[in-house]
Structure 1
Amino acid sequence: MFVTTADAVLEPPIITVNTVLSLLAVDYPTHKLACYVSDDGCSPLTYYSLVEASKFAKLWVPFCKKYNIHVRAPFRYFSNNPLTFGGSSMEFQQEWNRMKDEYELLRRKIEDAVQNSLPCDLTGDFAEFLNAERKNHPTIIKVIWENKAGLPDGFPHLVYISREKQPKHPHHYKAGAMNVLYMVHGIAGIQGPFYGGTGCFHRRKVIYSLSPDNVDSVNEKFAEDILSKFGSSKELMKSAAHALKGKIDPPANLWNSIQAAYQVAGSAYEYGTSWGTKVSSQ
């Protein structure tokens, strides 16, 4: 599951957070999902908001699943009477009020951080943002939450990504950000069912440049020809090969994939490859 944002002013973090929370609570086995947030603005505010949202998600996701909540974006859900989207039992009413209070606390934290321009001193977990400029910074990848136990009823991995940007390298705006998301999530091994956008749905194999006529039959040589266009990352090629052959092989530990993810999120990785021309976004 991909979420993209590029400007913490034009796209307030609370909106991004609500989008992410609605995805984390989706009714699907969570050990088969991961949520990747691309922040092309390299904003510590966005990262801070996601960290705080992950804490709220530990309460919100079980609540949604327990009561079969369909409107899973909290700001939308709590704008209505509890009887509209839930039930009338005393237990539900109490939990609804508790969830609303917790969400209000989250909202105030994020709004206070926005008012102060910075969520905290840029030290510790935020140190990588210290000298980062919006259009000139190294890759920053943070695993905010990892479903280490692989529980189907928890909530999915949550990963923050701000790809490297350098003034001398064109970054291709959202298309470039999506290319990095495709590569980083591929390395994580959780390929997902398909990519869906505005009026379009693509099978994962098609994103990896496979013709729709060949999605159900991929021989070894054909896969090798495609993978030769993917660049120098062995981890990416291994993961993509599994996807092309219909295999799913997520790593036992998401942190082990971080080094490879940094490689493919570099601003120069696409040079000499087919990314952005024949593979992924164009």
Structure 2
Amino acid sequence: MTEEKCAPLFETKRAKGRLFYKVFSLSLFVGICFIWVFRVSHIPRESEDGKWGWIGLLCAELCRETECAASDITFYALLEASIFAKQWLPFCRKFKVDPTSPAAYFKTIASSTHPNARAQEFVTIKKLYQDMESRIENAAKMGRVPEEILLDGKDSSVKDVDGNVMPILVYLAREKRPHVAHNFKAGAMNSLIRVSSMISNGDIILNIDCDMYSNNSQSLRDALCFFMNEDKGHEIAFVQSPQCFENITKNDLYAGSLRVIYEMDFHGLDSLGGPLYIGTGCFHRREILCGRKFNDQIKKEASLNELEEKSKAIASCTFEKNTLWGKEVTFFLIVPISSSCYCDSDCMGLQYGCSLEDVRTGLSIKCRGWKSVNYNPQRKAFLGVAPNTLPQTLVQHKRWSEGCFQILLSKHSPAWCAYGFISPGLQMAYCYYNPWVFLSWPTLYYCIIPSLYLLKGIPLFPQMSSPWFIPFAYVMLGDSFYCLMEFLWSGGTVKGWWNDLRLWLYKRTTSYLFAFVDTIFKFFGFSESTFIVSAKVAEEKVSQRYEKEIMEFGNSSPMLTLLATLALLNLFCLLGMLLKQVFINEEGLRIFDTIALQILLSGVLVLINVPVYLGLFLRKDKGRLPISVAAKSTALALTACALFISITLRCFIFSVLV
């Protein structure tokens, strides 16, 4: 008899349109090559203006691409939530509630939508939730909790109102000392892994951030389908869900959804070995976090004879030789005997040494032979809270890009560490995310130099009547059109794409730049690593402006000063050029043929920065840019324009005299 094979629990399909995408990508590459040829073959002579600006553009064009510190308030909130859960969990089971987060459920569901038989229970459970919420808020305002809740009240047999045993809920606050590295989030995760192994030792670990909640009650079942698949489940180390947010505005003001990465890139990574581990919304196998290497043989169930032979080996009198069996150890990490009674790797838990411990840990797991799966259902598995101010967004991306750069500079860099352990495609994918910080320099150059040369009327691009204008126009229009289509296909809007383009510029000119500088300082020992926690609670006025999609700047900071300076620099250069051509230059509109692309570039930068100009000069609310930032950025922009005019004039006089 032939052995019947179970139907697969999941399947992977190729995306359509691959041939068109390859042809389009090839055409863009050809256009970029023509641009490089033009740059090399048309470098201005020594006696001509713009030589160094031209060379600089050539170089730029070569680059295209919790823990809560043992808080009594948090403990009290968990205690209140556990009491409320005795009523809430039976209600969820009875009425098939989804999402199971009471805050999200009551926000979207009104009592009037329920039948009469259910309406009374809905009102009762909502009243219990509001009472619990009120008690927690009062405790937070007072800064203390009732003394009676601090008493030891452990009960291992707590049941809900239907008589079902409640899940185990443990609040862990790990010890911290001033001179002992606690390793931020990675240290907290490793503590939780060790402690949970002593309590339940479950095979599957779910890791989510403190501000996220379950939006899909079937997510655990779906994740188990990946792990338990007969053909490929034994290869999977973790199932990663995208980091989605409930407070994203209609047009995604701060590009917080990262929709193209999650809807496009991660699906592509599925064919190369799976997506990155991003630190939240992830189901892990415990044994793999504890260091187990991939072995294709674990797929097969051992026969009775094989188990008997293995049992003889581990029961022999010589098995314990040169091992820790029978010796005193300070801690023993339990790993299920059914899968492994030992750790066969020197990599245990989340990896330390950088602010993106999750990405580094995921790479380490992949290098041990494991794969991951992208789990992105239509109803998102988990939802969190995205930053709702520009400074929060920039700081968050600074931390991410800084962590990626630290991985690139470390001995664990995918550029060399992963060679031979993962597929070349997956290695290239990891390397694509690591050098984000380098993109700041060509972007800064493109934001500054062409505009300054525009102010002087010196062309850095081919004139419109030249054949060399075609590759420039094709690459710019083709790339922009493709990015727009990609964004729309991912579920975005046209205005959302424009906001995404704006944040792309802001991140490159501020977050990535500061991340590069800070990482270099840390590399040479001038500063120490820090972990900046994203804000989870916002003021009411800030939230109202965010919902109206009004950009929030807030307090003064070096990032905002740099952002405002670049915006004003482009505005001054564009206005200065227009005034000069209208009132001074005798050639009039004919000069526009030679500097059309520079005008277009500067004009796009000015349009992108409209919210900055409003925040500097027109807005009166607290979300505007401070007056100090307006004064400093105006002075810096005017000084840069004056210095450039002075320097280029002196260089021109010197070249003429020589």
* TM-score when normalising by structure 2: 0.26
Give the deviation of 1:125 after TM superposition.
5.3
* Secondary structure of the corresponding residue to residue 114 of structure 1: helix
Q: Which residue pairs with 1:97 in the alignment?
A: 123
CA distances 1:210-260 after superposition (whole Å, capped 9, x unpaired): 0122655897889x99x96xx9345x43x32536449xxxxxxxxxxxxxx
Residues in 2 aligned to 1:53 and 1:195: alpha-carbon distance in whole angstroms? 19
How do 1:9-28 residues align onto structure 2 when only pairs under 5 Å count? none
> CA 1:41 to 1:278, structure 2 compared with 1: closer, same or farther past 3 Å?
same
Name the SS of the counterpart of 1:164 in structure 2.
Answer: coil
Following the alignment from structure 1 to structure 2, what is the Cα–Cα distance between the partners of residues 116 and 232?
45
| 1:195, distance to aligned residue in structure 2 (A) | 4.3
Which residue among 28, 42, 54 is the counterpart of 2:70? 42
Look up the SS of the partner of 1:240 in the other structure. coil
Distance 2:136 2:158 in 1: 27
The amino acid that maps onto 1:58 is K
Structure 2 gap ranges (5+): 1-65, 209-239, 242-276, 278-282, 303-309, 315-319, 352-658
Uncovered stretches (5+) of structure 1, i.e. residues with no partner: 1-37, 128-141, 247-273
Do structure 1's residue 240 and structure 2's residue 335 form an aligned pair? Answer: yes
- TM-score (norm. length: structure 1): 0.57
2:91 to 63, 86, 104: 63
Alpha-carbon contact 2:111-2:123 (below 8 Å) kept: no
The answer on 1:51 being equivalent to 2:79 is: yes
Query: Which structure has more helix as a fraction of its residues?
Result: 2
| Counterpart pick for 1:208 among 290, 307, 310 | 290
Whether contact under 8 Å (1:144, 1:158) holds in the other structure is: no
Shift of 1:204: 1.7
Residue type of the alignment partner of 1:211: K
Q: Which runs of 4+ in 1 moved over 4 A?
A: 142-145, 194-199, 214-222
For 1:64, what is the secondary structure of its paired residue? Answer: helix
What residue number does 1:167 align with? Answer: 178
Residue 105 of structure 2 is matched in structure 1 by 77
Aligned match for 2:187, one of 147, 162, 176 = 176
Is residue 145–residue 158 contact of structure 1 (8 Å, CA) maintained in 2?
no
2:348 is the alignment partner of 1:279: yes
Q: How does 1:122-161 map to 2 (within 5 A)?
A: 126=150, 146-147=156-157, 153-161=164-172
Q: Deviations over 1:75-127 (max 9, x none)?
A: 1111123479xx73322110000011000000000100010011134xx6538
Residues 233 and 153 (structure 1), Cα distance of their counterparts in 2 relative to 1, 3 Å cut: farther
How many residues are paired up? 195
The question of 1:119 aligning with 2:145 is answered: yes
Which of structures 1 and 2 has the larger relative contact order (alpha carbons within 8 angstroms, sep 6+)?
Answer: 1
Find the residue that maps to 2:79 and give its secondary structure: helix
CA deviation after TM superposition for structure 1 residue 202, in Å: 3.0
Change (3 A) 1:110 1:176: same
Residues 1:189 and 2:189 are matched in the alignment: no
Looking at secondary structure, tell me which structure has more strand per residue.
Answer: 1
Match of 2:114 among 88, 91, 112: 88
Taking the aligned partners of 2:338 and 2:76, their CA distance within structure 1 comes to 33
- Counterpart Cα distance in 2 of 1:193 and 1:152: 26
Is the 8 Å Cα contact of residues 291 and 349 (structure 2) preserved in structure 1?
Answer: yes
Shift of 1:208: 1.3
Q: Which amino acid aligns with 1:278?
A: C
Distance in 2 between residues matched to 1:243 and 1:82, nearest whole Å: 48
AA in 2 matched with 1:280: G
Q: Which of residues 136, 156, 176 is equivalent to 1:110?
A: 136
TM-fit CA distance, 1:152: 9.8
Letter in 2 for 1:79: K
- Give the superposition deviation at 1:39: 4.5
CA distance in 1, matches of 2:125, 2:70: 30
Contact 2:189 2:350 in 1 (8 A): yes
> CA offsets per residue over residues 37-66 of structure 1, 9 Å max, x none?
x64411000011111111111000110011
Deviations 1:244-277 (A, max 9, x none): 449xxxxxxxxxxxxxxxxxxxxxxxxxxx99x7
- 1:191 deviates by 1.3
CA spacing shift, 1:196–1:44, aligned 2, 3 Å: closer
Q: Aligned letter for 1:232?
A: V
Separation in 2 of the partners of 1:143 and 1:243? 34
Segment drifting more, 181-190 vs 75-84: 75-84
Aligned partners of 1:61, 1:159: CA distance in 2, in Å?
Answer: 18
Q: CA RMSD in A?
A: 4.0
